[in-house]
Structure 1
């Protein structure tokens, strides 16, 4: 039985940061357990390769949520990273910290040290921005690329149309305000993905005090009374046990962290007893409070060239492939979401409640049972997407059995509040306002999805229930808070009721933030590691 000072379960956006920070002094031995494999794969490193990894079970958990009445009965597809770097190795790379008010709400919920002004220096220390935006940091491990000069001409036209629809230009969504439209900042460097593994874990792996096991499926945390002592995991078909001299730290994200807590006997007592799992600490909040951003695309056939004409034919793929291999430039070197923005569905709102995404290509996701591949349409086309920033619908994630290899039950409970339905209705109407501007209307041949026959409020609601889905930002299933009856971890990220066990990942968010969650997940990793180190001093 091997022993380490710290055992980290999960090598994703937060786990990679935690591993780097806890090992930096050289005084502590660190073991990182990752269920997936290496991130040294071409389609992981190539930014646009996420079109391939989206349905690749070798790097992706490929979860399927429960049939959801709020989504017209659909069982939504939930890709999550199963690879070094976790979801930061397969995501769309958009770097948005979140709004100031989001983090101030965290602090106001009884979490001192988690307000915007507390966290801003942590964000800036992580960042290495190559553009003119003064809000982002320089010299940190996470390179953030300004892609304003990489826009496809059609994406520029969508951006112009959004301004004609009344949205101001915003060159920096991490600046003073999120409102407006402009280019996204991306986690890439020199044409390669800047995942958390590349920024943090790979440098840490060069240290003698860091050990990383891939292909290690953790079954449970082991306890002596209410003190975490280590973990049990399966690797190469064998069950192994390792012990932690100081702490076990769960960094599995909003799906796998609550799953492992329940498998380890921490969760709703009745649920665990029904599954034959001995209760270590009863906490009915484990796996509850799930929040996620829901998105939808409106798709158009165009009369000008889009990326479809480059990325669909074999010769186009060959040309952009050669460009990427030789120069690390071209459409393969950036995200498909080149730009977007934030807007208010009601001017009386104090801040934006919707996020936009501009895509100079169009494709239709395969339905359940169809071949799992994303292929551009054979005609020129583009999409304008949106997602809600702060939905009020709340779902849950729970284990189905005591088998760690069985996927948990994901119940998003989407569009279950009138608030969420009403603001999405207003939002999709605004998409058509953008499409109807002078700039875009002359480029559009027809609206393909949902189509011109979808006009009434009832039809629009039916459509977005059927076609909306996760934009891959699940949070809050191990919510942070001071009250153990309303949360899973305390403000220092220690699991309530037990010792030497923390959760450090996006599952601890007290509430969902406005925008993409990868930046905030890395921040939580850095903040959480600092809390651990403070207690060692």
Structure 2
């Protein structure tokens, strides 16, 4: 570190203000014993579309507020580059995501523990899920009631969605009032991080509550370009406020905490000389600390959507246009149920491809709306509905790898979707289940014919070709700095989230997940941050 260039010194430096970083900034600064600096590469979250849930469609591809990453082409995605945007704004991806609150299965976290991650079994981490949450709908031993993050039930119901849930029961998928409770399996309306018609991001909850903490400094538009390592210890960071400007350095007395997400976390580690030695040396980067697992073990949920036309009812496609949209806007202003206050998916179903399985291996989503080519973005011109599906626990994994020393260059991201034959088999079964759900007797009053993939697509080979052409990311990227014991050569952090072999550096975000959970990953990432706060404060001693 060039101490002549050090502008400030704090006890803790937190990189990234998303689902994890904002929580840690709140918790570590709350006592007033420690000074904390939170660095966010993006701007503040003042844009009005951030706070309107339906603004998701406008914000997720806005490069001013998101990292517009894409995957590398692959044979099984027909050479496509699939968009994988990540939040680049105060609140991170919680400011631009699909708003679903979904924790995952007990078995997910018990498996984390069996991999050698003591203290990460379900019973141990349940209190941290509860700590994040202010449940607005239910009081059970599984749910939190005093946390900063409001979680609400869907208040805008639709007869097509009701018919879909009834059709799922017709096929043997039971209704489930709380998939975040005792069991996940079943079908019903989603729980969301929406309150009084507005998005509840970690910026609007945790950071807003922490703004009065005198010990907290928040820097926006401050992109960290390197973690500074001296004598096997993280001592600070280098950051830049804009291209062309000179770098500044901030020192950390205690720890640097990396919360930049499953793409930017390994990217920043590699830029700092932490990673696979041969790769770093090939780019002309000095190796600060050899860790071959950095950037490896990338996983994501690859989703495919079956689309059908609708008869005998209006869908969101019509309600989002013209005079009818004006009525929905008025409802939103008056805090009545409105399509402006919806998550992109209204209904869930969790089910098995094989009755012999102990737990469900599929997640599905449904909404009385459809989008051009099945991709959430531009609504179709006709009344439509969509049933999407993905495999809970894909075996295929990939990597994140920088290709340049330029900190502003996007890294190579290759999830290797569908590479494992088992993943292809499960996804094809999932598409067939989605079709059966759309063809249920209870939904027949509204079903007006399948559009995608279309009735002529029947064989496994044809369905795989459809999935290869139209499948997309669920934006659930994780695992690129996975947690594991010291004898796991590919583990990057230990069960206390400390980077193996280094002092003063922890990681707390979705990149540390040792295996992908059976869920959207935001809730689990918030849980990781709450537990990280206890791990950090438990090892600190205020003077």
User: Contact between 2:23 and 2:529, CA under 8 Å: does it hold in 1?
Assistant: yes
User: Contact between 2:266 and 2:401, CA under 8 Å: does it hold in 1?
Assistant: yes
Question: Which residue of 1 is the match for residue 346 of structure 2?
Answer: 338
Question: Which residue of 1 is the match for residue 364 of structure 2?
Answer: 356
Deviation track 1:104-125 (CA, whole Å, cap 9, x = no partner) reads 0111111111110000111112
Kindly tell me the number of residue pairs found equivalent between the two proteins.
Answer: 530
Q: CA deviation at 1:138?
A: 0.7
User: Contact between 1:62 and 1:77, CA under 8 Å: does it hold in 2?
Assistant: yes
Deviation track 1:210-258 (CA, whole Å, cap 9, x = no partner) reads 1111111111001212111100011143311100011000000100100
Question: Which residue of 2 is the match for residue 212 of structure 1?
Answer: 218
Deviation track 1:128-160 (CA, whole Å, cap 9, x = no partner) reads 11113523111211110012x422222112111
Aligned with 1:464: secondary structure? helix
1:507 paired to 2:511: yes
The counterpart of 1:437, out of the listed 435, 440, 444, is 440
Q: How many Å separate the matches in 2 of 1:349 and 1:133?
A: 30
1:278 paired to 2:281: no
Question: Which residue of 1 is the match for residue 414 of structure 2?
Answer: 411
**Pairs within 5 Å for 1:39-188:** 39-132=45-138, 134=140, 135-147=142-154, 149-188=155-194
User: Contact between 1:167 and 1:180, CA under 8 Å: does it hold in 2?
Assistant: yes
User: Contact between 1:192 and 1:328, CA under 8 Å: does it hold in 2?
Assistant: no
User: Contact between 1:36 and 1:82, CA under 8 Å: does it hold in 2?
Assistant: yes
Aligned with 1:66: secondary structure? coil
**Pairs within 5 Å for 1:228-243:** 228-236=234-242, 237-243=245-251
Question: Which residue of 1 is the match for residue 403 of structure 2?
Answer: 400
Structure 1 unmatched ranges of 5 or more: 368-372
Q: CA deviation at 1:478?
A: 0.2
Aligned with 1:289: secondary structure? strand
Deviation track 1:259-307 (CA, whole Å, cap 9, x = no partner) reads 0000000000001011111101111100000111111110011112111
Question: Which residue of 1 is the match for residue 539 of structure 2?
Answer: 535
Aligned with 1:248: secondary structure? strand
User: Contact between 1:46 and 1:333, CA under 8 Å: does it hold in 2?
Assistant: yes
Q: CA deviation at 1:513?
A: 0.3
Show structure 1 runs of 4+ deviating over 3 A. Answer: none
Of 132-141 and 184-193, deviating more is 132-141
**Pairs within 5 Å for 1:455-470:** 455-470=458-473
Q: How many Å separate the matches in 2 of 1:169 and 1:113?
A: 32
Q: How many Å separate the matches in 2 of 1:130 and 1:514?
A: 23
Aligned with 2:177: secondary structure? coil
Aligned with 2:66: secondary structure? coil
Aligned with 1:519: secondary structure? helix
Question: Which residue of 1 is the match for residue 310 of structure 2?
Answer: 302
Distance 1:365 1:522, change over 3 A: farther
Q: How many Å separate the matches in 2 of 1:445 and 1:433?
A: 14
User: Contact between 1:394 and 1:412, CA under 8 Å: does it hold in 2?
Assistant: yes
Deviation track 1:154-193 (CA, whole Å, cap 9, x = no partner) reads 2112111111121000111111111110111111111111
TM-score (ref. length: structure 1): 0.97
Q: CA deviation at 1:365?
A: 5.5
Aligned with 1:77: secondary structure? coil
Q: How many Å separate the matches in 1 of 2:236 and 2:162?
A: 53
Question: Which residue of 1 is the match for residue 18 of structure 2?
Answer: 12
Q: How many Å separate the matches in 1 of 2:467 and 2:415?
A: 15
